[in-house]
Amino acid sequence: MQQIYTFVLFILSASAVFAQNGRITGQILSSDGQPAEQVSVGIKGSSKGSVSDAAGKFVIERVKPGTYSLLVSFVGLETQEKPVEVIAGETANVSFTLSESANQLQEVIVKGGNPYKSDQVSSSLKLLTPILETPQNVQVVTSKVLADQQIISMSDGLIRNVSGATRLEHWGDMYANITMRGSQIQAFRNGFNVVSSFWGPLTEDMSFVDHIEFVKGPAGFMLANGDPSGLYNVVTKKPTGETKGEVSLTMGSFDFYRATLDLDGKLDKSGKLLYRLNVAGQNKNSHRSFEYNNRYSIAPVISYQLDDKTKLTAEYNMQYAKMSDVGSYYVFTTDGYATLARDFTAMPPGLDPTKIKDQSLFLNLQHQINSDWKVTAQVGYFNYQQTGSSMWPDSVSADARLVRSVGIWDAKSEMTLAQAFINGSVKTGGVQHRILGGIDIGTKNYFADWAQSHALDTLGGLFDPRNPNYGTPNNGYPVWDRTLNLEARAVMGGGTMDQKYTGIYLQDELGFIDNKIRLTLAGRYTHVSQSAWGGSPDKANHFTPRVGLSISLDKNTSVYALYDEAFLPQSGKLRGGGTAKPITGSNRELGFKRDWAEGRWNTTLSFYRIVKNNEITADPLSAPNSGLSVVLGQKRTQGVEFDIRGSIAKGLNLTANYAYTNSEVTKVTEGVQSIKVGDIIPGFAKHNVNGWLSYKIQQGALKGTGLSGGFTYLIDRATSNWSTTNNEQNLPNYFKLDGGVFWEKDKIRLTLNVFNVLDKYLYSGSYYDYLGAYYTQSEAPRNYRLGLAYKF
């Protein structure tokens, strides 16, 4: 730290040289009063300039005293010009209002050639720093990418757009459970951590999602407590102020039918009261018999502009899912991976469905104190209810015959979360400060009844995968005892989890030499109390520092370095008894970012090392639903990530990435025999390569017609759980090719995509020691989706 303070003092001394100059600040708004980002601001006849951030604000530093003309320009729009006088040592403030609405600006961005690239993160991530200047690897999957790839939920191929993201435990379309940088990353929605159990939350339907932001590595300003590997933040659609709508119809293989409706508009003549309504419904079967996942969702949003500086937004999301038993995705055998037919299932058709109702309510208040300071407060309430079951074998014989068992899985989750934070900008001498401070408060409760189970088969009538009988099981179907309410059953069976936390944080990004050098100093103090599996609460307090450095080599290029620490209390039943200590660890990261071709596309290259201590993992010698864990000791994940995204040429859009990930055990807790130093951490691929290319013909008879295609290539895949008796820790390499055609004209878009074009037998899986069997989760064979969208 001494070196850092010395560096800061040096910069402060150097900045005094520029005190005789002035600066220009301001804000750019759309015609409907929304901040306009990515707008260029420059001094006429000079190379000095800036680009507005997510709040519409801009700063031009080190301007010599004098009278100038300030130019504001945006691709496809008319340039505006205003006079400004700069006085030595003072700040001149100039504001602009564009003639276009926020939605029209977004349309210009897409038509101007940036549909795959975003320069800012949403305000829900609390940062107002452009991605290029942020000392962290942040990747944004835009709405255009979601539409082109016909992604319908978080579990539907979305992770191909982010380096290093894998998903080896599928759970159907129930949970996303994304692994990145050696661990499962945290799930956020509109800035709230919505993880309430090991399996949640329910995957978001893309009908009400605007875009998804992936933050690599620890992020103390966003996490009261969370894994240092990172997070993804689902940002939902909000009103734009423009009256418009879109309806879409999609059909596809395995009796897939889907319809969506998006309405956007004003509820009063003044335009202060706005609304957005998204509705979706689908029926979806599978390549496996008797398997289905039918869903519908509704998401109304209302925003009200109280005055010129204050806006209140209320949002409700409801998703309902009716699906077959989640155990149908798993196939067990002693013969090895993928030895049964790709469409094989062990599930009988008579099992009751699993039903899920997931609701969330958001209230968000934003107040712009002045052009430099903004305060945000928001509250979220989340309610998840599930009634259903999960199928799993009780035993697997040497000749691969099974005793299939079904366990009840009724669950309920309630979360009440609140945040308040302030963003500000202030200058001291020659140093520009971007200030972020705030508080997070949350209460999470999860109740589940796992205590009831029923064997479908008897020892005298085992289920034979080689000669399956899908009639009524010889031991009949389960009848569950739901006499007591769920909370009482959960307490009796040890199926309770809870968490209460409070976190306060402060971050200062110090900008030196016209903000070309940015030093981030931050800290967070967290108090957490949590328990799991019916155990006693574990309480912990911890301070985590954060130091980041970002340097602009030119207006399009930056390098960064980051040091961050992690703190995550954990609860669990240890096989040897005792209490699990909180996870502690650190992340060291170096990176290089660059915008190319006047910002139309960009690249990010990062190198990182994450060390985690005391992490517990599922006991390899026990069943997954036993709740028993062992302590690893220490694990280390290090790697390289590269992302490229944007418009390479007119009509040609690309997102591609590569990640090298090496995650292994570096220390083993004394007494643990089932894990050893050097063991590969389950659940990732050492080499992960993805690409998606889309080209639309720009002129001629075929204007509006386009081709698209992409692939995913996973090399050296680790299995999804530990094994102590089977040395085959790697799965075979994985290659999936997708492609399609589309046609766009005026308000109509027709899209046809074919997935798994090569019709490969794709799967994930592992080996369970306690069963002495392999399991496989197969993916669909070659299949298609045909969609029609109409805007009005």
Lowest mean pLDDT among 14-23, 81-90, 255-264: 14-23
Q: What is the mean pLDDT of residues 573-598?
A: 82
Give the rounded distance of the alpha carbon of 631 from its chain centre: 27
pLDDT, residue 64, reads: 87
Residue 649 has pLDDT above 80, yes or no: yes
Do residue 32 and residue 142 come from a single domain?
Answer: no
Q: What is the mean pLDDT of residues 44-52?
A: 78
pTM: 0.86
- Return d(Cα 142, Cα 123) in angstroms, integer: 15
Residue 82 has pLDDT above 80, yes or no: yes
Do residue 139 and residue 16 come from a single domain?
Answer: no
The mean predicted confidence, pLDDT, of the chain is 88
Looking at per-residue pLDDT, the higher value among 661 and 371 belongs to: 661
> Total domain count for the chain?
3
DSSP 13: H
Do residue 96 and residue 118 come from a single domain?
Answer: no
Q: What is the mean pLDDT of residues 581-588?
A: 81
Do residue 512 and residue 654 come from a single domain?
Answer: yes
* Residues 6+ away with beta carbon under 8 Å from 48: 42, 60, 62, 63
* Residues 6+ away with beta carbon under 8 Å from 751: 147, 148, 150, 740, 741, 742, 785, 786, 787, 788, 789
- Return d(Cα 534, Cα 555) in angstroms, integer: 55
- Model confidence pLDDT, tens digit, residues 370-422: 888 999 999 999 999 999 999 999 999 999 999 999 999 999 999 999 999 99
Q: Which of 102, 135, 159 finishes a domain?
A: 102
First to last CA, the chain: 58
* Residues 6+ away with beta carbon under 8 Å from 128: 53, 54, 55, 57, 423, 434
Percent of the chain with pLDDT over 90: 59
Neighbours of 255 (CB within 10 A): 11
- Model confidence pLDDT, tens digit, residues 663-676: 988 888 777 777 78
- Model confidence pLDDT, tens digit, residues 338-368: 999 999 999 999 999 999 999 999 999 999 9
* Residues 6+ away with beta carbon under 8 Å from 635: 182, 611, 612, 615, 663, 664, 665, 666, 681
CA 741, 160, 355, 406 dihedral sign is: positive
Q: What is the CATH number of the domain that holds 768?
A: 2.40.170.20
Looking at per-residue pLDDT, the higher value among 655 and 564 belongs to: 655
- Return d(Cα 301, Cα 248) in angstroms, integer: 20
Residue 577 has pLDDT above 70, yes or no: no
Do residue 97 and residue 116 come from a single domain?
Answer: no
Do residue 176 and residue 320 come from a single domain?
Answer: no
Residue 740 has pLDDT above 60, yes or no: yes
Do residue 319 and residue 232 come from a single domain?
Answer: no
Q: Where do runs of H (alpha helix) occur along 164-204?
A: none
What is the pLDDT confidence band of residue 629, given thresholds at 50, 70 and 90?
Answer: confident
Do residue 48 and residue 154 come from a single domain?
Answer: no
Do residue 253 and residue 311 come from a single domain?
Answer: yes
Do residue 786 and residue 742 come from a single domain?
Answer: yes
Q: What is the mean pLDDT of residues 452-471?
A: 93
What's the domain range around 185? 110-236
- Return d(Cα 260, Cα 583) in angstroms, integer: 42
- What's the chain's length in residues? 792
Spell out where 597-704 has E strands. Answer: 601-613, 616-618, 628-631, 633-649, 652-668, 685-696
pLDDT, residue 48, reads: 79
- Return d(Cα 506, Cα 229) in angstroms, integer: 21
Do residue 385 and residue 448 come from a single domain?
Answer: yes
- Return d(Cα 58, Cα 176) in angstroms, integer: 38
CA 471, 473, 476, 478 dihedral sign is: negative
Asked whether 363 and 314 are in contact (CB, 8 A), the reply is: yes
- Return d(Cα 245, Cα 633) in angstroms, integer: 54
- Return d(Cα 334, Cα 337) in angstroms, integer: 9
- Model confidence pLDDT, tens digit, residues 87-127: 988 889 998 888 776 656 655 554 444 789 988 888 898 98
Identify the helix (H) or strand (E) that includes residue 194. Answer: none
Q: Which of 102, 132, 148 finishes a domain?
A: 102
Q: What is the mean pLDDT of residues 291-302?
A: 97
Percent of the chain with pLDDT over 70: 90
Q: What is the CATH number of the domain that holds 57?
A: 2.60.40.10
* Residues 6+ away with beta carbon under 8 Å from 17: 430
pLDDT, residue 725, reads: 62
Lowest mean pLDDT among 221-230, 372-381, 491-500, 584-593: 221-230
Do residue 666 and residue 692 come from a single domain?
Answer: yes
Q: Which residue, among 375, 456, 362, has the nearest Cα to 417 in the 3D structure? A: 362
pLDDT, residue 29, reads: 87
SS3 56: coil
Q: Which of 75, 102, 129 finishes a domain?
A: 102
pLDDT, residue 675, reads: 78
